[in-house]
Amino acid sequence: MSAMYFVAAGAVLALLFAATMFARVKKEPQGTPQMAKISAAVSNGATAYLKRQYKGVAIFFAVVFVILLIMAFLGFLSFFTPFAFLTGGFFSGLSGFIGMRTATMANCRTANAASGSLNKGLRVAFSAGSVMGFTVVGLGLLDLSIWYFFLHFWYTAIDPVASQEILIQNITSNLLTFGMGASSMALFARVGGGIFTKAADVGADLVGKVEAGIPEDDPRNPAVIADNVGDNVGDVAGMGADLYESYVSSIVSTSALAVAAGFGMQGVGVPMLLAALGVLCSIVGTFFVKTKEGASQKNLLTALRTGTYISSVLIAICAWFAVHWLLPAEHATGVFIAVISGLAAGVIIGALTEYYTSDSYSPTKKLSASSETGSATVIISGLSLGMLSTVAPVVIVGISVLLSYFCSGGAEDFNMGLYGVGVSAVGMLSTLGITLATDAYGPIADNAGGIAEMTHMPAQVRQRTDALDSLGNTTAATGKGFAIGSAALTALALIASYIDKVHQIDPDIVLDLSITNPTTLIGLFIGGMLPFLFAALTMDAVGKAAQSIVVEVRRQFKEIKGLMEGKAEPDYASCVDMCTRSAQKLMLAPALIAVIVPIVVGLILGVEGVAGLLAGTTVTGFVLAVMMANSGGAWDNAKKYIESGAHGGKGSDCHKAAVVGDTVGDPFKDTSGPSINILIKLTSMVSIVFAGLVVAVHLL
Amino acid sequence: MSAMYFVAAGAVLALLFAATMFARVKKEPQGTPQMAKISAAVSNGATAYLKRQYKGVAIFFAVVFVILLIMAFLGFLSFFTPFAFLTGGFFSGLSGFIGMRTATMANCRTANAASGSLNKGLRVAFSAGSVMGFTVVGLGLLDLSIWYFFLHFWYTAIDPVASQEILIQNITSNLLTFGMGASSMALFARVGGGIFTKAADVGADLVGKVEAGIPEDDPRNPAVIADNVGDNVGDVAGMGADLYESYVSSIVSTSALAVAAGFGMQGVGVPMLLAALGVLCSIVGTFFVKTKEGASQKNLLTALRTGTYISSVLIAICAWFAVHWLLPAEHATGVFIAVISGLAAGVIIGALTEYYTSDSYSPTKKLSASSETGSATVIISGLSLGMLSTVAPVVIVGISVLLSYFCSGGAEDFNMGLYGVGVSAVGMLSTLGITLATDAYGPIADNAGGIAEMTHMPAQVRQRTDALDSLGNTTAATGKGFAIGSAALTALALIASYIDKVHQIDPDIVLDLSITNPTTLIGLFIGGMLPFLFAALTMDAVGKAAQSIVVEVRRQFKEIKGLMEGKAEPDYASCVDMCTRSAQKLMLAPALIAVIVPIVVGLILGVEGVAGLLAGTTVTGFVLAVMMANSGGAWDNAKKYIESGAHGGKGSDCHKAAVVGDTVGDPFKDTSGPSINILIKLTSMVSIVFAGLVVAVHLL
C-alpha cells in the first residue's frame, strides 16, 4: 500500500514538471503576427479534428460500454470493468490532447526561438515535447492512484479482514481492463491521425509540388495547413495515447504478477517505485539536453541522447537500491537484472534504430546511393533495409525476455519468471518521460520549419529548423521502437494473463497450448496474417483519403481566383475538414478488425485458438512494425540526405527517385507501422475481456 | 508392400508420358536457322549455368555429406542418411535439369508453332511443360521405389521375422532424410536461379531499354540471352527441384504416419496409391488443354484450367474408391474428406491467386489505375494488394488442416489426425503432373516471345506468344501458391516429425512446447523474423548482381564497334557468365542461413526453441511468400494491362509508373517469394537431422 504513495507522488511530480514546462513554453514570444496566425490555424485545425474524432470514438466507447455492462450483468465481468474501460480511454485521449495542444502552441515559438540560436530552438521544442512526455507519465500514474485508492477502499469495506494479497489481486484484476479502453483510444488516435497526416501530406505534395510546381509548405497550397495539423494529430496525439497505455499496463500487470509469484506486497512495490523514480530520473535527464550554435546533426543527436542516457544510468542505479530495499536478498539481484535487461533492450533498440535510419550511418547512405539506378532500386533497397533491421531487435528482445525470466526464478516457478519479464518492461518504460519528450519534439520542429517557410523567415532560420527536424525522423523511429519493443516484451505476460483469466473463469479447463496442437497452430497462422491485413487496410485508407485531398486542392486552384498570384487566400479549413472526415470513415474497418477477429476466433476455435492468435499477431506484428518504421524512416532521411547535396541534390533524378521512396514510406512509418503494436495489445485486451463469453460458448 | 508396385508403375507411367511428350516436342520444326541459333545460345547458356551451379552445390553436398557421415559414426544418425541425402539432391537437381533442357529446346519450336496458330503454340509450350511436370513426378516416385525396395531387402535380411509395421517404420525414417538433400538442391536452384534471372532482367532493362533506348528483347542487347536463360534456370529448373521435394516428402511422411496412427500397411498404401492414380488422372487432364484461334486471355486461362480441374475431379473420384478399398469403413470417409480438403484447398488457392494477379479481375485493374498518381501509389497499392491476398489462403489452409485433422480421428488420437493432414497434402499434390505443366509452360512462352521479337517474326506471332506469356504470370503465381500452400499444410507434420525424432533419440525427454513457455516463444520470434532476413538477403543479392550486369552491358555498348548499328554481335556469353558467377557467390549467404540458424538455435535454446523456430518460420514465411508472389504477379500484369492500351498504353507516364512496380516485383515473385517455402522445409529438415546433436548437447 505504501508504494502507492510513491506512485501518487510521482504523478504529482510529473504533472507539476509538465505544467512548469508548459508555462515556460507559453512565455516564449510567438514571433510575428503572421506566424501567430498560422500557428493558430494549425491549432484550430488540430482541435477541430480531435473534437470530431472524440465524437466518433465516443459512439464506439458507448457501444462497447453497453456491451460490457450487459456482460457484467450476465456475470462474465466485474461491474468496475465497464467504468475502468471508460477512464482508460478518457485519460489516454486526454494525454494525446494535452500533448497536441502544447505542440501546436510551441511551433511558432520554436521557429521564433530558432531565429535567435539553434540551442534556443532546441530548448523550446524539447520543452514542449517534455510537456507531452510528462503528461503521459503523470496522467498514467494519476489514473492508477485514483483507481487504486478507490478500489482499496471498496474492497476493504466489503471484506475488512481480507489479506493484503487478496486485496491487491482484486484490485489489479479490475485495473487490467482499463488497458482495453486506453488501447481502443490509442488505436483510433494512431490510425485516424495516421490517415489524416499522410493523406494531407501526400495530397499537398502531389498537387502542390508536382502539378502546380510550388515549393513545399507554400502558403498558397490549400492542403499545407492540413499537412501541419496532421503532424500534430498523428505523431503527437496518437503516440501519446499509445504509450500511455503501454506504460500503465506494464505497471499494473507486473503488480498483478507479484502476488502470483509469491513476492507479496513488496513485489507489488517494485514496479510502482521504479515508475515513480523513473519520473525523477527523467526530469534530471531533461536538463542535459542542450547544444551549441553550429552543431552538426550528430551533435544534436548526441544532445538528445545524452539526456536519455543519463536518465537510464540514474534509474539503473536507483533500481539497484529500490530492489534490494524491497525484496529479499536471494531474489533482489535477479529482479535487478530483469530491470536492467529491459532498460538496456530499450536503449540498444533505440541505438539500432538510429543506425538503420539516420543518414550518419551506412545503411541510409547506401539507400540514397541506390537512387542512382532509379526509384525501383530505392524501393527494393529500402524494403530490404527494413527487413534486415528486424534481426537485431528480435534477438535483443529474445535475450531480454530469457534473461529476465530465468534470472528472477522462472525455472522454478513460471509466475516468478513472468514477474521478471513484467519488471523488465517496466524498466524499459521507466524513463518514458524523457523518451517521449525526444519523440514528440520531432513534429514540433517539423511544424516550426513549415512556419518559417510560410512566413519567409531568413534562410538561416529554416536551416536551423531543418537541422532540428531531420533528427525528428530518427527520434520518431526510436519512439516507435520503444512502443513495439515493449509490446513484444510483454507478449508473454499478455498471453499468460489471458490464460490466467480463463482459469479464473473455469478452473477445471484443460488447455493444450502446444504448437503441435492443430487448433493453436491455426490460431498462430491467423494471428500471423492479422498484421498484414491490418497494414493493407490502413495503407489503402491513406491512398483513398489522399485521393479526396487531391481533388479538393485541384478544385481550389481552379476556382479561387488570384490564389496562385498570392492575392487570395486558399480555403485551408475545407482541406482539414476533408481529411478529418476521410480519416474518421476509413479508420473504422482496421479498428473493428482488432476487436472482432479475436472474438470470432474465440467463438470458433476456442481458447487454444485465441492463445495461438495472440502469439502469432505479436510475432508477425513485431517484425512487420519494426520493418515498416525503419524502412519509412530510412527513406525519409535518404531523401533529406540527397536534399542536403548528395547524389545531385534537390531536383536531380536521384532526388526524384528518393521522393518515391519517401512517399511509400509515409504510410509505412506514420500510419500502418506504429499502429501495429496497438493492434497487438488491443487483440489481447479484447481476448481477456471476452474470455468469459468464449469459455461459456465452448462449454455449451 | 504391394502398394509399392503401384508407385513403381506410376513412376514408369509418368516417365513414359514425359518421354512421349519430349519426343513430340522434339519432332516440331525449329523454325528459321536464326531461331535455332538463338535457341541454342539460350540452351548453352542455361546448361553452362547449371553445370557451374551443380559444381558449386557439389562442394556444399560434399561438406554436408562428410558432416553427416561423422554424425553417423558418432551414432546420431543411421548410415543410410548421408546417402539418402545425396540421392535426394541428385534427383531433385535432375528434375530441374531435364525440365530446363526441354524448355530451352521448346522455345523456338513454340514460336514457330505460334506462327501456324494460337492453339499449336499452346500445345507445343504445354507439351514441353508436361515433360517437366511428369519428370518431377516420375523421378520422385522412382527414387521412392528404389530406396524402398533396397531398404526392404536390407532390413528383411537383417531381421527376417520383423513385422511389416516395424519394417515400414525403419524404411520411412531413413527415407525422410532425403528430403534434406532435395531441399538443399531446391534452395540453391531457386535462389541461385532467381538471382540469375532477375539480375539479367533488371540489367538488360536498365541499360538497354532505359539508357540506350532499344526495345525489349533486342538482339543488340548483350544481356538479352542471359535474360532468356534466366527464365529457364529460375522458373523451370528451380521450380522443378522445389516441387520434387514437396511431392516426395508428403508421400513419405504420410506413409510414416500411417504406422504411428495404427492404420498399418493399408494406411501406408493410401498416399502411395493416390500418387500413382494422380499420375493417371493428370495425364488424362493434359488432353483437355486446347484452345481455338482468336481466343481471349480468359479463354486461354480456361483451357489451362479445364485440364487441371478435370484431373482434380478424376482424382477425387478415384480417391473415394482407393480409400474405401484400403481402409476400414469407419475411417475411410474421414480420410477421404482429408484428401478432398487438400485437393480443394489447392484448387481454391489457385483460383484466388488468379483473382488477385490476373488483369481480368478488379484487384489488378485497380492497381493499374493507381499508376495515374505515379509510381509511389503503384508501390503502395501493390504491397497492400499482396498483403490483403494473404487472408484467404491462411483461412483456407486453416480450414483444411482442421477438417483433415479432426475428420480422420485427431480428437481421439493425435497421430490419426496428423495422418489426415498428411493425406490432405498428398491430395493437394496428387495432380502435380499437370499443375506443374501449366506452371512450366509460362517461361517457355516467354522465351518464345523473345525469340519471335529477336528474329523479327510477323507481329501476329508476337501477339500470340504475348497472349500465351501473359497467362504465364498467373499460372506461375498459382504454382507458387501450391508450393507454399503445401508447405503450410505440412507444417504440423514437419514439427511433429521433429518432436518424434527427438523422442526417438531420448524417450524420457520432457518437452513443454506451449506458447507460454518463454523458450518456445522466443524461438517463435526468431522463426518469425527468419523469412524477413532471408527475403532481405535475396533481394539485396539481386540488386548487387544486377549492378554488375549494368556495368558489363555499358562496357560492351562502348567497346564493341558497330554493335548499335547491328554490324557486330554482342558478347552474350560474358553476360551469362557474369550472371552465373554473381548468382553462385550471392546465393551462399541466404542458403547458409537456412542451415545454420536452426542448428545455432538448437544449441542455445534446445528442442523447445527449435520447435518454436519452425512454427514461427512457417507462419511468417507462408504469409510473406504469398504476399510477395501475389504483389509481384499483380505488378507484372498491371504493367502488361497498361501495355495492352489502358491508361495511355505503352510509353505513357502511367506505363512508366507501372514499370517501377514491375521491377520491384521481379525479386518479389521470382527470387525471394518462391524461395521461402524451401527455407521453411529446409529448416525443418536440418532440425530433424541435427536433433541428435542438439539433444546430446543439452543433456551434457
Q: pLDDT digit string (tens) for A454-479?
A: 888 888 888 888 888 877 777 777 77
What is the average per-residue pLDDT within B40-56? 85
C-alpha neighbours within 13 Å on the C-beta side of residue A176? 27
Inspect the interface and report whether the beta carbons of A374 and B491 lie closer than 8 Å: no
Q: Do B383 and A620 touch (CB under 8 A)?
A: no
What pLDDT is recorded for position A290?
Answer: 79
Check CB contact under 8 Å for A532 and B627: yes
Mean pLDDT of A162-173: 78
pLDDT tops 90 at residue A599: yes
Residue B230: partners with Cβ closer than 8 Å, 6 or more residues away: B193, B196, B197, B198, B199, B200, B201, B579
Q: Give the one of B421, B522, B529 whose C-beta lies nearest to A390's C-beta.
A: B529
> What's the confidence (pLDDT) of residue A118?
84
Q: Using the beta-carbon criterion (under 8 Å), do B547 and A518 form an inter-chain contact? A: no
User: For residue B298, is pLDDT > 80?
Assistant: no
B597-603's contacts with Cβ under 8 Å and 24+ in sequence apart are B597/B526, B597/B530, B597/B683, B598/B683, B598/B686, B598/B687, B598/B690, B599/B686, B599/B690, B599/B693, B599/B694, B601/B523, B601/B526, B602/B687, B602/B690, B602/B691, B602/B693, B602/B694, B602/B697, B603/B693, B603/B694, B603/B697
Contact A515 B524 (CB under 8 A): yes
CA distance B155 to chain A (A): 31
Of residues A589 and A298, more confidence is placed in A589
Cell readout for A507 is 478452473
Contact B377 A543 (CB under 8 A): yes
- Closest approach of B680 to chain A, Cα-based (Å): 14
Listed range (A285-294, A664-673, B674-683) with the worst mean pLDDT: A285-294
Partner-chain residue, chosen from B515, B532, B543, that has the shortest CB–CB distance to A515: B515
Percentage of chain B beyond pLDDT 70 is: 99
What does the pLDDT look like over B536-568, one tens digit per residue?
999 999 888 888 888 888 888 888 888 778 788
Looking at the complex, report in whole angstroms how far the Cα of residue A207 sits from the nearest Cα belonging to chain B. 10
Q: Do B616 and A619 count as a contact with CB atoms less than 8 A apart?
A: yes
Judged by CB atoms closer than 8 Å, whether chains meet at B516 and A421 is answered as no
Nearest chain A residue to B495 by CA: give it.
Answer: A516
Report, as an integer, the average pLDDT of B147-154.
86
Question: What mean pLDDT comes out for the span B190-203?
Answer: 86
* Range with lowest mean pLDDT among A310-319, A591-600, B165-174, B283-292: B165-174
| Distance between CA atoms of residues B90 and B84, nearest Å | 10
> What confidence tier does B10 reach under pLDDT thresholds 50, 70, 90?
very high
What is the C-alpha to C-alpha distance for residues A300 and A449, in angstroms, rounded to an integer? 16
Q: State the ipTM, two decimals.
A: 0.93
Asked if B570 and B220 touch (Cβ cutoff 8 Å), the reply is yes
pLDDT the model gives residue A293: 67
For residue B365, give Cα distances in angstroms to B371, B382, B430, B618, B638.
Answer: 10, 11, 33, 31, 7
> Which residues from B are below 8 Å from A529, CB to CB?
390-391, 394, 623
Across the interface, do A543 and B499 touch by the CB < 8 Å criterion?
A: no
Give residue for cell 525503419: A630
The yes-or-no verdict on residue A225 having pLDDT over 90 is no
Sign of CA dihedral A593, A599, A600, A605: positive
Rounded CA separation A128/A134 (Å): 10
- How high is the mean pLDDT of chain A? 88
The pLDDT tens digits for B387-397 are 999 999 999 99
Identify the residue among B540, B547, B619, B655 best suited for mutation to test binding to A, counting A beta carbons within 10 A and taking the highest: B619
Set of cell numbers at residue B198: 532477375
pLDDT value at residue A170: 79
Alpha carbon of A48: minimum distance to chain B alpha carbons (Å) = 29
Distance from CA of B228 to the nearest CA of A (A): 21
* For residues A181-188, average pLDDT: 87
Torsion of CA B565, B570, B575, B577, to 10 degrees: 180
Q: Which of B470, B435, B441 is nearest to B126 (CA)?
A: B441
pLDDT for residue B369: 92
Element (H, E) at A353: helix A329-357
Give yes or no for residue B697 having a pLDDT over 90.
no
Handedness of CA B22, B430, B483, B355 (dihedral sign): positive
Of residues A398, A513, A535, nearest to B525 (C-beta): A398
Contacts of A397 in chain B (CB under 8 A): 525
Q: Which residue has the higher pLDDT, A300 or A348?
A: A348
How much is the average pLDDT of B394-412? 92
Residue bearing cell 556469353:
B573
Q: What is the mean pLDDT of chain B?
A: 88
Do the Cβ atoms of A539 and B402 come within 8 Å? no
Instruction: Measure CB to CB from residue B516 to each of A513, A519, A521 and give the nearest one.
Output: A513
pLDDT at B200: 86
Nearest CA in chain A to B525: A619
Cα angle vertex B154, ends B153, B159, to 5°? 100
- The DSSP-derived string for B315-359 is HHHHHHHHHHHHS-HHHHHHHHHHHHHHHHHHHHHHHHHHHHH-T
Q: Determine the residue among B202, B207, B384, B554 to mutate to test chain A binding: the one whose Cβ has the most chain A Cβ atoms within 10 Å.
A: B384
Burial label for B286, CB within 10 Å (0-12, 13-18, 19+), is: buried
Query: For residue A294, what pLDDT is reported?
Result: 67
What would the pLDDT profile of A325-378 be if each residue is shown by its tens digit?
Answer: 988 888 899 999 999 999 999 989 988 988 999 888 999 999 999 888 888 889
* pTM over 0.90, yes/no: yes
pLDDT tens digit sequence for A403-453: 999 999 888 888 899 999 999 999 999 999 999 998 888 888 888 888 888
Closest residue in B to A627 (Cα) is: B532
Q: What pLDDT shows up at residue A292?
A: 74
Give the C-alpha separation, A636 to A658, whole Å: 8
For residue B606, count other CB atoms closer than 10 A to its CB: 20
Count of beta carbons in the 10 Å neighbourhood of residue A411: 11
- Would you say residue A617 has pLDDT above 90? yes
Instruction: Find the CB nearest A387 among B499, B535, B550.
Output: B535
Chain B CB contacts of A547 under 8 Å are 373
Average pLDDT over residues A112-118: 87
Q: For the residues B73-92, what does the mean pLDDT come to?
A: 86
Pick from B404, B377, B188, B298: which is nearest to A203 by CA? B377
Of A520, A535, A660, the CB nearest to B515: A520
Could you tell me the pLDDT band of residue A1, with boundaries at 50, 70 and 90?
low
| pLDDT value at residue B343 | 92
User: Is B84:B181 a contact under the CB 8 Å cutoff?
Assistant: yes
Which range, A169-178, A406-415, A615-624, B93-102, has the best average confidence (pLDDT)? A615-624
pLDDT tens figures, B206-249? 777 767 777 777 878 888 888 888 888 888 888 888 888 889 88
What's the whole-number mean pLDDT along residues B163-191? 81
Residue B635: its chain A contacts at CB < 8 A? none
**A29-44 mean pLDDT:** 87
Question: Which DSSP symbol is given to A292?
Answer: -
The string of DSSP letters for B396-408 reads HHHHHHHHHHHHT
CB A472, CB A438: distance < 8 Å: no
User: Does residue B438 contact residue B428 with C-beta atoms inside 8 Å?
Assistant: no
Give the whole-number percent of chain B exceeding pLDDT 90.
34
Q: How far is A534 from chain B (nearest CA, A)?
A: 9
Closest CA to A469 of A76, A158, A111, A104: A111
Looking at residue A577, its pLDDT comes to 85
**Nearest alpha carbon to residue B550 among B201, B204, B196:** B204
| Cβ atoms within 10 Å of A451's Cβ, excluding its own | 29
Least confident of A173-177, A235-239, B118-122: A173-177
pLDDT at A295 over 70: no
Q: Where are the beta strands (DSSP E) in A466-608?
A: none
> Is B526 in Cβ contact with A376 (below 8 Å)?
no
Residue whose grid cell is 491467386: B353
pLDDT at A297 over 70: no
Instruction: Classify each residue of B30-49 as buried b or exposed e, where b means 16 or more C-beta atoms within 10 Å of its C-beta.
Output: bbeeebbebbebbbbbbbbb
Q: Which residues contact A633 (CB under 8 A, 6 or more apart)?
A: A353, A356, A357, A473, A474, A476, A477, A665, A669
* CA–CA gap between residue A65 and residue B568 (Å, rounded): 79
End-to-end CA distance of chain B: 41
Cβ atoms within 10 Å of B211's Cβ, excluding its own: 13
Q: Which residue of chain A has the CA closest to B538?
A: A384
Select the residue of A387, A492, A535 nearest B536 (Cβ to Cβ).
A387
Three-state secondary structure call for residue A2: helix
Q: How far is A421 from chain B (nearest CA, A)?
A: 10
| Grid cell of A456 as nine digits | 519567409
* DSSP per-residue letters across B256-315: HHHHHTT-HHHHHHHHHHHHHHHHHHHHHHHTT----TT--HHHHHHHHHHHHHHHHHHH
